[in-house]
Amino acid sequence: MTEQNIYDNADFFAGYARLPRSVEGLGAALEWPAFQRLLPPLAGRRILDLGCGLGHFAREARVRGARSVIGVDLSGNMLAAARARGDDPGITYRQASLEAFEPDQAGFDLVVSMLALHYIADYRSIVRRFAGWLAPGGRLAFSVEHPIYTARGTSEWHSGADGAPAHWPVDRYRDEGERRVQWFVDGVVKYHRTIETYVNALLDAGLLLVRLEEPEAESAALLAARPALHEERRRPAFLLLAADRPR
């Protein structure tokens, strides 16, 4: 299987680069307050950031005292932009797909993946690999698009007669697999799976579930700047999970 590298599509990357989270960083991401609740203290930790994108989390981890961060991404566009935003000897960027990447050594205190695993076809296999890279007591923390959001394969509200969002249809929920969606460009491939699959794959990999979040926008300033985020209370856009390797 050829890994999808949609972020190196010029039209896609141009659209993505204009998103608030791309321009302003983690503080513009509605799920960031919830994601922080998944994390252990970062000071002194060896961290692997899988699907690191523009490097926002890697830089934040170093600000919080992380010993080192390895950021991995398939996209050359993403990594070039990440490197352009700062030169930190404690951050190493590697270009590779998550399916093919192998760290030089394991024993990470924290493995993080933010909004990348819904692009991966074989979630169960990759979770087992991630679990093997953790030190005893280490944590895997990740976010994905919520299964309620991915089930139909279209990110559209059903509108009422007045044109306002009436409800969010959910269909084909148990039909796991590929969804082709329009997001900046046509034919972006994502993979839908149930919450059951997301959780049980962690348990089957020998990890201990420690937290699950279905975030909404919590920041008053963010809501004031982007009132449409109030709708996230009506259906979750993201699922966040954290699990530990037993000591």
**Span 99-122, pLDDT tens digits:** 999 999 999 999 999 999 999 999
Concatenating the DSSP letter of every residue in 60-90 gives HHHHTT-SEEEEEES-HHHHHHHHHT---TT
Query: 112: which strand partners?
Result: 49, 141
Q: Please, which pLDDT band fits residue 1 given cuts at 50, 70 and 90?
A: very low
Phi first, then psi: give them for residue 208, nearest 5 degrees.
-110, 120
pLDDT digits (tens, 9 = 90+) for 21-64: 999 999 989 999 999 999 999 999 999 999 999 999 999 999 99
Look at residue 89 in the predicted model and tell me its pLDDT.
Answer: 96
Contact residues for 156 (Cβ-Cβ < 8 A; gap 6+): none
Averaged confidence pLDDT in the chain: 93
Res 158: pLDDT: 86
Task: Give the range among 90-94, 118-122, 185-189 with minimum mean pLDDT.
Answer: 185-189
Q: What is the pLDDT of residue 2?
A: 55
Helices 195-204 & 123-132 angle (0-180, nearest 10): 40
What's the confidence (pLDDT) of residue 223? 80
- What pairing do the DSSP bridges indicate for beta strands 185-192 and 177-183? antiparallel
| DSSP-derived pairing of the beta strands 165-167 and 158-159 | antiparallel
Of the pLDDT bands very low, low, confident and very high (cuts 50, 70, 90), residue 183 is confident
Q: Is the pLDDT of residue 244 over 50?
A: yes
| Predicted local confidence at residue 195, as pLDDT | 98
pTM: 0.93
Query: What domains are defined for the chain?
Result: 6-151+192-244 (3.40.50.150)
Q: Does the structure show a pLDDT above 50 at 98?
A: yes
Nearest C-alpha neighbor of 150 from the set 185, 127, 184, 180: 180
Average pLDDT (171-198) is 94
**CA distances from residue 197 to 24, 186, 232 in whole angstroms, order as listed:** 33, 27, 23
d(CA 174, CA 155): 18
User: For residue 124, what are its two tokens?
Assistant: 């169960």
Q: Residue 141 in contact with residue 35, Cβ under 8 Å?
A: yes
pLDDT of residue 92: 98
> Looking at the chain, which runs of residues are DSSP E strands?
46-50, 68-73, 91-95, 108-114, 134-145, 158-159, 165-167, 177-183, 185-192, 208-213, 238-244
Please report the pLDDT score of residue 220 as a whole number: 76
For range 157-178, the mean pLDDT: 90
Mean pLDDT, residues 147-160 taken together: 87
